[in-house]
Structure 1
Amino acid sequence: MYSRHQISTLRQRLRETPKFMIAVTGPRQVGKTTMVNQVLDEQPAAHRLFVSTEQRETFSTNLSGFDFDSNDEPDYSPPPRSEEWLVHTWNKARAQALRITNGTYYILAIDEIQKIPNWSEVAKGLWDKDRIEQLPMHVVLLGSSPWLMQKGLTESLAGRFERIHLSHWSFREMQKAFDFTLDQYIYFGGYPGSASLIGDEQRWRAYIQHSLIDPIINKDILEHNRIHKPALLKQLFELGCGAYSGQILALSKIVDGGLLQEAGNTTTLSDYIALLSAAELLSGLQKYANKEHRKRASAPKFNAHNTALMSALAGYTFAEAKADRSHWGRLVETCVGAHLLNTAQGECDVHYWREGGDEVDFVLSKNSKLLGIEVKSGKTAIAHKGLQAFSQTHTGSKTLLVGDAGIPVYDFLSAPASHWLG
C-alpha cells in the first residue's frame, strides 16, 4: 500500500513523549484515515484504539455530570457522536494506557472528531488531566471540516496540538501509486479513490460529483456556515471550476453579466470564494501588488485545487480535452496552479500579476523572494512579454517558463513550490 510522505512525520511524533495532541487535517479523500491506520497497524493491538464518530446520530448531554478524573471503564456503551461518547472512549483508552509498562505509548485516534458537539472543550479537559498525570498516551485527531477543526483547535486547544496537513495528491504520488501518466494526471487529477475508475469516464465523473463535490459542498460547507444563497454558492463553484479555472474574471462581470442564475453581489461572491478556498476546492488568486488594498480590489483568477473538479464539470472527455488545444492549455495551467496552491501552504504565497496588457500566470512570494511563472503548454520558443515586463517592474525578481520551451511540466510538478522559489 502506498504511503504519503507525511507518514514519517506522524511516526516520529508518536515515538516521542506525548506533549501535544496530533491533528491530522485536510480535505476529503486525500488519505488521512488511511495514513493513520497504516501507522497504527505497525503497533501491537493492545497499544492502539481507532474510533470513528460516523456511526449514529448525535444527542446532547450536559457536561457537568462527567468525571474527567476517572480512569475506570464505564459498564455501559453510550451512543456515538456525543460528548458522553467521547469521554467514555477516552477513559477506555486511558485504562489501556495505564497497563503499558515497557516504555512505549498507547495511541488513541479519533476520526471526524469535529462531528461531536463541543468536542474541543471536552478534549481540552481530558488532555489536561492526562498531562498532569503524565499518562503514556498519544491522541490523534482527524477531521475534514476546516471550519469546525480550525475553530476547535485555535479557540479551545491553542498550545495543545501540532498539525499534520494532507492536501491533494501530487503528480508523483499518483504516478507511483497508480501508474498515472502526465496527461492522465492533468485531466483526471489527484483523487486516489477515483483512480481505478478512469477507464469508465462516465462512472468516474459520477464518482467525483456524488462522492466528492456533493458531500463537501452540502455537508462541509452548507451545514457549518451561514449561507444565505446555497444555489449561488453551488453555481459559483461550477462556474469557477468548470468554465473559468485558469482565467481572471472580475466579480462585477459575474454579477452584471448574468453569468449566474441566482442573484448576488460582489461581496457575497467574495465570501463564497473564501469558503470554497478553505475547503480546498476553488481559490480566487489575488493580483500581486506591493500595496494590500490593490490586491483586495483586484479581479480574482479562478483556480481549482484539483483538476478532477474541472474535468468533471467542464463536459469534455479525456480525448476531447486533449484535442482542444485551448481547453487543454487551460487544464495544464490549472494543474500547475493547483500544484502551487497545494504545496505552497505555509511556505510561500501564490498570486498572479497583470499590468496593462502584460500578464504573468503565477507569482510566488516569500519575504524578499519573488518568482514570476508563465505556463505554455504548446511548443513555442517566442519571447514572453509578460515575464520580461514583470522582471523589469520588480527588480531582483526571478522568472520561470513552464512548458516545452522551458521547465517541462513533468519536472515542475515533481518539486514543491518552495523548491522553485529557491
Structure 2
Amino acid sequence: MRSTHWAFAEMQAAFGYTLDEYLQFGGYPGAAALRHDKPRWTAYMRDSIIEATISRDILQMEEIRKPALMRALFELGAQYSGQELSYRKILGQLDERGNTDTLKHYLTLLDGAGMLSGLQKYDDKQLRSRASSPRLLVHDPSLMTASWHGTGSLLEQPDLRGHLVESAVGATLLARSKTEGFDLYWWRDGSLEVDFVIKRGDDLSAIEVKSGRIKKSGIGAFCQRHSEALPIIVGGRNTPLDAFLHGDVPLFTLS
C-alpha cells in the first residue's frame, strides 16, 4: 500500500496549515509541531527525514557505490527543484565524480523513496524524451525548504517563491499520478515552456503554474501542436492554487 506525503487538505484539517505554511513546511505530520521553531524544524527534517530516508531506506536496500554523490545529488536537486538542469551541469556542480548513467540511477532510487524525481521532457518520440535534460522536482515542498542554505525565507524572494509554488504543484501531481495512473512530464521549445504535461492513455493535459516567476508561457503553442490537450492554468481566476493543492481540480477532460 503506497502512502504518499500528506496533501494540503490533510495538513490543513489536522494542523490548521495556511497555504503559505504548506508551501514552506509541506506534508510531513511529524514535523508540524516544530514549524514555529525554524531551526528545530530544519534539524528534524534533515536528520529524521532526509538522512534517515537515504541512509536506511535506500542504502540498506541496495548497494550504492557513491553514497556521498547520492546525498549531494539530492541536496542539489532540492535546491534547484522546479528547474531544468542538464546532467553535465549537475556533474559540474558536484564535487564527487560520477557519470550520467550513475546520476540517472540515483535519481530513480530517490524517486522510489519519495524524495526527488527528474522529469523527462514531453516528446512524441520516446527516445528523444529519455535523452532530454531532467526537470528536478522534490516530492514535497518542505524538502526544498529544508535544503535551502540562504538567508531569509524562500517565500520572501519572488523567484524562489515561484519555484517553491511550482514544486508544490509538481509534488501534488506526482502523488496523484500514483493513484490516478498518468505519466508526468514537462515541455519546452526555445523560450516557450510548459511547467507540466500529463498523459493517461489518449488523454493529454498541459499545466501552467502562475507563480509570480517571470517566464514565457508556452501553453498556447503546445495546445496548437496538440489540439487534444486540455489547458490548465493553476493560479489563474478559474483554478486557484489552493483549490488545485486540495485536489479539487479535474486533470483531464471529463468524458
TM-score (norm 2): 0.94
The structure 1 residue matched to 2:226, chosen from 365, 373, 394, is 394
- Counterpart code for 2:247: A
Give the number of equivalent residue pairs.
Answer: 252
Query: Which segments of 5 or more consecutive residues in structure 2 lack a partner in the other structure?
Result: none
The yes-or-no answer on 1:365 pairing with 2:202 is no
Distance 1:327 1:252 in 2: 23
Deviations along 1:176-208, one digit per CA (max 9) or x if unpaired, are 000000000001000000001000000000000
Deviation at 1:316, TM superposition (A): 4.9
Deviation at 1:222, TM superposition (A): 1.0
Deviation at 1:320, TM superposition (A): 2.5
Distance 2:81 2:5 in 1: 17
- For residue 76 of structure 2, what is the aligned residue in structure 1? 239
Taking only aligned residues, the RMSD between alpha carbons, in angstroms, comes to 1.8
The structure 1 residue matched to 2:143, chosen from 287, 290, 309, is 309
Contact 1:276-1:282 at 8 Å conserved across structures: yes
The yes-or-no answer on 1:355 pairing with 2:189 is yes
Contact 2:26-2:140 at 8 Å conserved across structures: yes
- For residue 282 of structure 1, what is the aligned residue in structure 2? 116
Distance 2:126 2:248 in 1: 26
Query: Which segments of 5 or more consecutive residues in structure 1 lack a partner in the other structure?
Result: 1-163
Deviation at 1:385, TM superposition (A): 3.8
- For residue 30 of structure 1, what is the aligned residue in structure 2? none
Report sequence identity in percent. 45
Larger Rg: 1
The yes-or-no answer on 1:188 pairing with 2:20 is no
- Counterpart code for 2:24: Y
Distance 2:46 2:220 in 1: 41
- For residue 340 of structure 1, what is the aligned residue in structure 2? 173
Distance 1:165 1:379 in 2: 33
The yes-or-no answer on 1:297 pairing with 2:131 is yes
Deviation at 1:227, TM superposition (A): 0.9
Classify the secondary structure of the residue corresponding to 2:251.
Answer: helix
Contact 1:190-1:306 at 8 Å conserved across structures: yes
Deviations along 1:29-84, one digit per CA (max 9) or x if unpaired, are xxxxxxxxxxxxxxxxxxxxxxxxxxxxxxxxxxxxxxxxxxxxxxxxxxxxxxxx
The yes-or-no answer on 1:415 pairing with 2:251 is no
Deviation at 1:406, TM superposition (A): 4.8
Classify the secondary structure of the residue corresponding to 1:218.
Answer: helix
The yes-or-no answer on 1:331 pairing with 2:168 is no
- Counterpart code for 2:100: T
Classify the secondary structure of the residue corresponding to 2:161.
Answer: helix
Classify the secondary structure of the residue corresponding to 1:390.
Answer: helix
Distance 1:416 1:305, change over 3 A: farther
- For residue 169 of structure 1, what is the aligned residue in structure 2? 6
Deviation at 1:378, TM superposition (A): 2.9
Contact 1:340-1:416 at 8 Å conserved across structures: no
**Which is bigger in relative contact order (C-alpha 8 A, separation at least 6)?**
2
Distance 2:220 2:43 in 1: 43
Distance 2:236 2:175 in 1: 23
Distance 1:174 1:210, change over 3 A: same
Distance 1:211 1:385 in 2: 39
Classify the secondary structure of the residue corresponding to 1:284.
Answer: strand
- For residue 269 of structure 1, what is the aligned residue in structure 2? 103
